[in-house]
Structure 1
Amino acid sequence: MTSTSALHAGLHHALPQMARTFRDPWWIIGSAALALAGVPGIEPQDIDVLCSRQDALRLRQTWADHVDAAYRPADETRFRSTFARFAHLPMPVEVMGGLELMTEAGWQPVRVNHDMRVDAAGIAVCIPTLEEQRRILRAFGRDKDLAKAARIALPEHPHVA
């Protein structure tokens, strides 16, 4: 199964439950969002979901039998959240409730300021706009995030005379 077909199969299985469970705004972010936005050369390995802490806890309770308790996210000194990884789907889902990023100014919430809806497995889902995805990836600052940010081609803004 290609990563694109695994992504769509994972979303097909996960999105209905997330839509029923989540009560606050949420977004698909990371490589999955880039792939959904049509950015070429992106091979998602998981589906990253940014949501509220309460929604992350609700999903963890709903899918309690599927939590990958042995998994530890990388860069725990750089990121913190109410985290859970669910590996029972065609592509694992990683939920980050109330995700925060360590910056020079201390812990800062990761926010999506501008989003768009895309069709994912027949369900409308919110992802950050390409500009927002690039901003977020650059803020994360890891080599892999910067490489993904560099793949995003934004339309040129017309020059205003």
Structure 2
Amino acid sequence: MITLTVNGKRHELDVEPDAPLLWVIRDELGLTGTKFGCGIAQCGACTVQVDGRPVRSCVTPAGSVKGQIITIEGLSSDLKHPVQQAWLAEDVPQCGYCQSGQILAAAALLATTPNPTDADIDAKMTNICRCGTYPRIRKAVHRAAAAMAKGVKA
């Protein structure tokens, strides 16, 4: 048995401690917004936040996680998070597969770097987008940063 706190809710789960967090989130909790991409922590489709830090859940043993886990479903119940709003305004998604991981990585970046430069975004946003929407991702991160600077709550 392991205990995880996901999106503010505590879960007692009968899973092996070395089970990848991704599969526990998807298969045991039914939260399918977190996507499987590569399985080797390279693409970032599986990114969630643990205590506000972006974590590649495909290679993270569920039993090793002691902090608060946030998935895309828990970022905002009404899609009003500034990053989600910026993603929509800048028309970032094409296929959309990487977007939950991209959004969680962007929200984590803005929590630590409220006014990022393009270089900051490029250095911290290491998720892969097969559709190549990187210029729109940068614009959306800047838009969300500006909204948050004006007091829009995350």
Q: Provide TM-score, normalisation by structure 1.
A: 0.26
Bigger share in strand: 1
